[in-house]
């Protein structure tokens, strides 16, 4: 796995923009491997996120600089899961654990 340390937000933005074709290839290959035949879109920039409340903490709605991968027509509501994975994980007292395939794939390669 490649480890990068950036000295500024602009260095980070440049790196993400440079890696967009690679992200696209990884998503495309992952979806094909999992027999997902719908389209997808990758957008890096300002993206809208609705308000989310989790464990009495309010994550305000708004435009956030982010990398968003939209699968199909984007009707799912799992965007907070990738931004903040703990928001979608069940407490340790519960037997169910949710995972994000996209996040796991990105973590694997980056």
pLDDT digits (tens, 9 = 90+) for 47-98: 888 887 777 888 889 998 988 888 888 887 666 666 666 656 544 444 444 4
The neighbour count for residue 47, using CB atoms within 10 Å, is: 16
Rounded distance between C-alpha atoms, residue 36 and residue 97, angstroms = 22
pTM for this model (two decimals): 0.62
Summary mean pLDDT of the chain: 78
Residue 3's pLDDT band, with cuts at 50, 70 and 90, is low
Check if the beta carbon of residue 59 is closer than 8 Å to that of residue 53: yes
Orientation angle between helical segments 101-109 and 9-33, nearest 10 degrees:
120
On the question of pLDDT at 29 being above 50, the answer is yes
């Amino acid at each position: 796995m490649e480890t990068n340390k950036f000295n500024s937000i602009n260095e980070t933005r440049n790196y993400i923009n440079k890696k967009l074709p690679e992200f696209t290839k990884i998503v495309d290959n992952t979806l094909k491997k999992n027999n997902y035949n719908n389209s997808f879109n990758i957008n890096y920039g300002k993206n809208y996120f609705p308000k989310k409340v989790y464990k009495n903490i309010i994550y305000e709605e708004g435009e956030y600089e982010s990398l968003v991968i939209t699968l199909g027509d984007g009707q799912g509501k799992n965007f907070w899961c990738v931004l903040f994975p703990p928001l979608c994980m069940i407490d340790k007292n519960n037997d169910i654990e949710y995972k994000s395939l996209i996040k796991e794939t990105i973590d694997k390669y980056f």
